[in-house]
Amino acid sequence: MADAGRHPNITLHTLSEVTGVSGYVGNFTINIVKRARHVDETSCTSCGECAKVCPVVFPDEFNMGLSSRRAIYIPFPQAVPSAYAINMNECMGRGCSKCLDVCDKKCIDFHMSDQEIQVKAGSIVVATGLEPYDPTQMDEYGYTRFENVVTSLEFERLVNAGGPTQGTLIRPKDRKHPSSVGFIQCVGSRSKRKGGTYCSNICCMNTIKSTLVLKEHDPDMEIKVFYIDIRAFGKGFEDLYNRSRQLGVKYVRGLPGMVEELENGDMRVAVENTVSGKVEFHDMDLLVLSIGVKPASGTQKLQEMLGLQLTSDGFYLEAHPKLQPVDAATRGIFYAGCAEGPKDIKESVTQGSAAAARAIRLMHKGLITTEPITSMIMEQHCKSCGKCVEVCPYGAITMDAKKKSPAKVNSAACAGCGTCAAECAFGAIVMNHFTDNQILSQVDVMLTENASEKVLTFACNWCSYAGADYAGVSRLQYPSNVRLIRTMCSGRVDEKFIWHAFEKGAPVVLVSGCHIGDCHYINANHWTEKRIDKVRKKMEKKGIRPERLQLSWISAAEGVRFARVMTDMEKLRKGVTAEEIMATQKLLQKDQKETVPS
């Protein structure tokens, strides 16, 4: 920690949050808001005189509310930067000013304001960590109802030498030193009812560690662990588990169904011991809930800002679970630690190093090759209507409206979604590698034979196509008449592709992309949604059943959803008769002749 604080190459911004990211791999521009600390962190020596005189008392977050701090405070003695901070929502301000008077260094400034910082970076490491599970909703364990039921994180503070009790374990209700402690495992993990369905990975070993710490303090302490399975899979873990059992810690297989408080403040645990098959009651002085790991609260906001994907559990989704475990699907962005999934310190450190190595691999040449999958304006066809400028999520297209000059694409800023090409009414934009002709040729071939039996699906590269891959990796079986055409973004799916497909005899067409808010191209899929809506209205007018065109959002993690949508599409296809297909074809062919005189 201290190394990171004083490293000449590291600029540390605490009390800071990323508020916006623009640009692309190699050259991101990041906006950061640095909230005012109200204490000059370079001159503060953390002498602590200010906190001594501060009259405002609040629960101490670092100690999980088990102790108090002042409105001017340092989160913990070893904090980096080693400087106090004022929470201005709590401070009484000028009217009090006691801290100002005692600060010799004069580093306190009530008028310090939030700063907006802009940073340029070639790569980004997302290490936003975790949020501990709040067990209040698990009423059967009585957390918050009973003072002597604490979370594992509160327990950590109670046994920590730097904690509110200087490491002497007491139970909150009567400050008695407990002679028996129970641990309940999987609180908020591996449950379909409450919390997450996944294993939180660290709680088994954390409890085993805690039992060893307790036995070290007090070898006679009675300790019981209520568990489903003990997952001691890491290097050296089984040894610790064995040591804990040898020291007399009792492991009871079964999660308690109910906890009640006895008159003397002890906790009575009712549990079905699944080894003996009997319901047992255990009285413990203190009960510790081994809480699971949840994604950090800001995960979704950052995900939207950076155009990343999440797993169904809400953690960040990696580009490949085995071969690119720290890469995001977006080039230049890497994950480290619990942001990607629950993990212990060793794994977090490993991933931190891996993310650094991946970032260095990208940056070491000082040059970046850009993907040439960008759009191009055919100036002779451009009518300077400005539609492309409006739809481009990256502001990569410019046009001088006054001069009516043709639009121009900044290829470095263009990310290649193809929305401009799909929206251009004059066919003046070529989307490289996904041109109209290239895509239409796929449609033509697909529908040459047995068109009426096929489910034509346009899938965006980042979400739905990846979701289809995920269905494959999971071996989920779905109807075999599904045929995918990949585009980089669903925003590329031009209206004319859809009409062309129906004209060629497609019974149904599915356009699929990332969920709204998850689009890899910021918000390009908003245009997909609008466009599909428009086409469906036109279909209705023409007397074509609009249900034959479907829009579905499928994320990269939703293999199950992909398979289900495909099954639904197949049902829909079966309801489309040969006559209906033929009538549509004739109608569209007639329209074609009328609009395009040969």
Q: According to CB under 8 A, which residues from 480 to 499 bind another protein?
A: 480-481, 483-486
Nearest CA among 195, 214, 228 for reference residue 295: 195
**Closer residue to another protein in complex, CB, 161/596:** 161
Stretch that binds another protein, among 97-105, 134-142, 358-366, 587-595 (CB under 8 A): 358-366
| Long-range contacts of residues 343-348, Cβ cutoff 8 Å, at least 24 apart | 343/201, 343/202, 344/201, 344/202, 344/205, 344/234, 346/234
Q: Which of 240, 247, 270, 572 binds another protein (CB under 8 A)?
A: 240
**Closer residue to another protein in complex, CB, 91/271:** 91
Shortest Cβ 529–another protein spacing (Å): 24
The angle that helices 559-574 and 464-473 make with each other, rounded to 10 degrees, is 100
Q: Does 586 bind another protein (CB under 8 A)?
A: no
**Closer residue to another protein in complex, CB, 368/522:** 368
Residue 133 parent element (H or E): none
Q: Does 290 bind another protein (CB under 8 A)?
A: no
Shortest Cβ 336–another protein spacing (Å): 4
Q: Give phi and psi for 543, each to the nearest 5.
A: 85, 20
**Closer residue to another protein in complex, CB, 62/502:** 62
Q: Does 451 bind another protein (CB under 8 A)?
A: no
Q: Which of 287, 388, 563, 565 binds another protein (CB under 8 A)?
A: 563
- Binders of another protein among residues 198 to 227 (CB under 8 A) are 205-206, 208-209, 212-213
Stretch that binds another protein, among 103-111, 377-385, 444-452, 547-555 (CB under 8 A): 444-452
CB 141 within 8 A of CB 259: yes
Q: Does 589 bind another protein (CB under 8 A)?
A: no
Measured distance CA(276)–CA(253) in Å, rounded:
9
Q: Does 169 bind another protein (CB under 8 A)?
A: no
Q: Does 365 bind another protein (CB under 8 A)?
A: yes
CB 291 within 8 A of CB 184: no
Stretch that binds another protein, among 121-129, 139-147, 184-192, 509-517 (CB under 8 A): 121-129
Side chain identity at 338, as an amino acid letter?
Answer: C
Shortest Cβ 123–another protein spacing (Å): 5
Side chain identity at 363, as an amino acid letter?
Answer: M
Nearest CA among 244, 259, 207, 247 for reference residue 228: 207
For residues 23-57, one letter each, b for 16 or more C-beta atoms within 10 angstroms of the residue's C-beta and e for the rest, the string is bbbbebebebeebbbbbbbeebebeebbbebbebe
Q: Does 47 bind another protein (CB under 8 A)?
A: no
Shortest Cβ 392–another protein spacing (Å): 18
**Closer residue to another protein in complex, CB, 335/502:** 335
Pairing of strands 482-487, 455-460: parallel
User: What strands, in cross-sheet order, belong to the sheet with 286-291?
Assistant: 149-151, 286-291, 180-187, 222-227, 250-253
Q: Which of 111, 192, 235, 402 binds another protein (CB under 8 A)?
A: 235
Stretch that binds another protein, among 12-20, 246-254, 511-519, 526-534 (CB under 8 A): 12-20
Measured distance CA(330)–CA(314) in Å, rounded:
17
Side chain identity at 301, as an amino acid letter?
Answer: K
Q: Does 308 bind another protein (CB under 8 A)?
A: no
Stretch that binds another protein, among 231-239, 386-394, 512-520, 576-584 (CB under 8 A): 231-239
Stretch that binds another protein, among 78-86, 182-190, 253-261, 280-288 (CB under 8 A): 78-86
Measured distance CA(505)–CA(548) in Å, rounded:
12
- Binders of another protein among residues 492 to 551 (CB under 8 A) are none
**Cα dist from 141 to 2, 61, 184, 189, 202, whole Å:** 39, 23, 9, 14, 20
Residue 283 parent element (H or E): strand 278-284
Pairing of strands 267-273, 180-187: unpaired
Q: Does 254 bind another protein (CB under 8 A)?
A: no
For residues 90-104, one letter each, b for 16 or more C-beta atoms within 10 angstroms of the residue's C-beta and e for the rest, the string is ebeeeebeebeeebe
Binding flags for another protein, 378-417, as an x/- string (CB under 8 A): ---------------------------------xx-----
**Closer residue to another protein in complex, CB, 131/280:** 131
Q: Does 151 bind another protein (CB under 8 A)?
A: no
Q: Which of 312, 435, 523, 585 binds another protein (CB under 8 A)?
A: 435
Q: Does 124 bind another protein (CB under 8 A)?
A: yes
Stretch that binds another protein, among 50-58, 72-80, 275-283, 581-589 (CB under 8 A): 72-80
